[in-house]
């Protein structure tokens, strides 16, 4: 069992959310891909979406065995299911209200965080 904090940062386009996944002091980013799988995204991918390097550089560059085990990643993907909270925010690239793309989270415990024991 692992205590994983999963938060939606925003979306690439409608029905393709971007997530921050926090586990034991490490932060990872993931995006829902066209195959409806949650796929690991490194800092370079996150920067390419217009999120500042101040935030992107706090993210891990690769998956480790702990996060692979906690979320059941196969390679760099896992199933997109109820473990991942979803907030509809229209169409196109957009961010949730408590995440600032040039800075990161407005507060330490924003409303869009969901804690899960997996």
pLDDT given for residue 116 in this prediction:
58
Tally of domains in the chain: 1
Confidence of residue 88 (pLDDT cuts 50, 70, 90): confident
CB 19 within 8 A of CB 84: yes
pLDDT given for residue 1 in this prediction:
62
Q: pTM for the full model?
A: 0.90
CA 39 vs CA 101, 103, 106, 109: distances in Å: 20, 23, 25, 24
pLDDT given for residue 111 in this prediction:
57
| 55: three-class secondary structure by DSSP | helix
pLDDT given for residue 53 in this prediction:
93
Domain region containing 95: 3-117
Between CA 74 and CA 14 the distance in angstroms is 25
pLDDT given for residue 68 in this prediction:
92
Query: Structure tokens of 90?
Result: 């229209």
* Per-residue pLDDT tens over the stretch 24-81: 889 999 999 999 999 999 999 999 999 999 999 999 999 999 999 989 899 999 999 9
């Amino acid at each position: 069992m692992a205590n994983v904090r999963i938060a939606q940062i925003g979306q690439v386009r409608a029905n393709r959310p971007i997530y921050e996944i926090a586990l034991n002091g490490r932060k990872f980013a993931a995006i829902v891909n066209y195959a409806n799988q949650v796929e690991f995204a490194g800092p370079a991918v996150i920067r390419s979406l217009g999120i500042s390097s101040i935030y992107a550089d706090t993210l891990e560059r690769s998956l480790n065995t702990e996060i692979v085990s906690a979320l059941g990643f196969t390679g760099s993907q896992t199933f997109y299911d109820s473990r991942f909270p979803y907030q509809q925010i229209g169409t196109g690239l957009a961010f949730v209200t408590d995440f600032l793309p040039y800075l990161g989270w407005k507060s330490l415990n924003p409303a869009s965080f969901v804690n899960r024991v997996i």
